[in-house]
Amino acid sequence: MTLQVSNSDPIAKSSPQQQRDNYLEALLSTVQQQGTPALPLSELRTRAVAIAREHGFPSPRQEDWSFTDLTPMLLVPFAAADAGAIAPPDLSLPELPEAAARLVFVNGHYSEALSHVGTRPTGVVVGNLGALYTGELKVKIDQRLGLSGNRHEMFAALNTAGFQDAALVWVPRHQTVDAPIHLVFVAIAGDRPVLSQPRCLVVAEPGSALTLVEEFYGIGESAHFSNSVSEIWVDEGAQVTHTRVQQEGSGTFHIGKTAITQGRDSTYHGTAISLGAHIARHHWEMDQTGPQTETQLNGLSAIAGRQTADTHSLIALHHPHGTANQLHKCLVDDSAHSIFNGKIWVPRAAQLTNASQLNRNLLLSNKGRIDTKPELDIVADNVKCAHGATVSQLDASEIFYLQSRGISADQAQRLLIYGFVMEILAKIPSTSLRDRLMPAVID
């Protein structure tokens, strides 16, 4: 990757804390220039700026950021992405042939030309916020946008302070959308480092069902900052199946948040695949607002070179009879570094919770690094909860077993890696997406 560094930059001379503060101010002023004219969200944005300042740009001394050092970011002055930054004509987008609709955003700007919204069941809304934020829908959006989850941090606030447009998917009561809705956020890393802020708001009203595929796709290897927020509301009795794929360029800092709010008797099945970016961090948070929810989080980070992939997840249960299962896998090659910090919070009110969390790591090199911290925080006294983490290398006895069947050592290793990642990829409901991702994961 290329970083543009200027030696005469005044921030280089100040204290680290001062540097971070200055850097955040620069980011805020950049995003405010971008966002303010685009959407009339002044109250929400003002609040977000305050939150961003209150939390500050993370320091490696903060426990939450102790393994993922963002100091290299401070050297890159990210500018706003031009609205006119049109995707190159030969742009090949990730395809999902079975999708009912596709929304494409290029560096945070909606591209009508690349999107298609197809025909949809009555009342189902799929489009960009910029065009849809009016009238009755505006009132409904105001009750949801920026309000999922209650755990604030700087990056999500930065997004709220200045995102230019957002994908909007709204499925009304008892409506089912069978084919997946495909959201593609393209990050184009060009000659100068720019900041893009993908955003989406997905609402599945009571009793509805939806399959969502979100792809963060990068073009170019130079420095880029992709700061995304996805809010997903799974109302009472609704079902959302969500796949999130991050394949951004090798010079990209990707910081993403997925905030899920689950009403009673709702089901959320999420699969997050992290393959790209230089440093990728995903905050994945579920907030339970009613009893008997079902939550499944499946994750796979497959990284090599000098990549970092960090997943911080939180499943916050506040009501009884919740079920939460999480399986997160990391495949680490070369000098790459994976981090997993998953927390399941079971307060006294969340009796009869059934939760499990497992992080499995496969280390393919001597120089890779894996940090893992599965956390169960349980106050309730009548629950069934389990968690664990494993770190291993390819098992020599498994390789010998395969070799004894005529499979070469090299092919045996690939088969074992295939098996390791397949356990997660198999959870992706779309076969075409699974088939597309497999070669990218294995190589």
Partner 1 sequence: MIYENSEVILSVRDLRASVDGTEILKGVNLTVKAGEIHAIMGLNGSGKSTLSKVLAGHPDYDMTAGEITFKGQDIAELEPHDRATAGIFLAFQYPLEIPGVSNRDFLRVAYNAHRKARGEEELDVFDFDDLIEEKLDVVKMDAAFLDRSVNEGFSGGEKKRNEILQMALLEPTLAILDETDSGLDIDALKTVANGVNQLTRPDNAVVMITHYQRLLNYIVPDYVHVMAEGRIILTGGRELAEQLEAEGYEAILEQHKTEVAVS
User: What residues make contact with partner 1 under the rule CB under 8 A?
Assistant: 395-398, 400-409, 411-412, 415-416, 418-423, 426
Minimum gap (Å) between residue 419 Cβ and partner 1: 3
Nearer to partner 1, 50 or 426 (CB): 426
Minimum gap (Å) between residue 416 Cβ and partner 1: 7
Q: Which helix (H) or strand (E) holds 429?
A: none
Nearest residue to 339 via CA among 287, 376, 389: 389
Minimum gap (Å) between residue 271 Cβ and partner 1: 15
DSSP string of 49-84? Answer: HHHHHHH-SPPTTSGGGSSS--GGGGG--PEEPPTT
Q: Are 121 and 176 in contact (CB under 8 A)?
A: yes
Nearer to partner 1, 109 or 427 (CB): 427
Query: What HEC string does 150-217 produce?
Result: CCCCHHHHHHHHHCCCCEEEEECCCCECCCCEEEEEEEECCCCCEEECCEEEEEECCCCEEEEEEEEE
Residue 68 and residue 280: Cα distance in Å, rounded?
Answer: 9
Minimum gap (Å) between residue 138 Cβ and partner 1: 47
3-class SS at 260? strand
Minimum gap (Å) between residue 425 Cβ and partner 1: 9
Nearer to partner 1, 304 or 415 (CB): 415
Nearest residue to 232 via CA among 283, 184, 268, 182: 268
Nearer to partner 1, 379 or 386 (CB): 386
Q: Are 311 and 299 in contact (CB under 8 A)?
A: yes
Residue 138 and residue 191: Cα distance in Å, rounded?
Answer: 37
Residue 342 and residue 118: Cα distance in Å, rounded?
Answer: 38
Minimum gap (Å) between residue 367 Cβ and partner 1: 24
Minimum gap (Å) between residue 407 Cβ and partner 1: 5
Nearer to partner 1, 60 or 401 (CB): 401
Nearer to partner 1, 175 or 359 (CB): 359
Nearer to partner 1, 312 or 360 (CB): 360
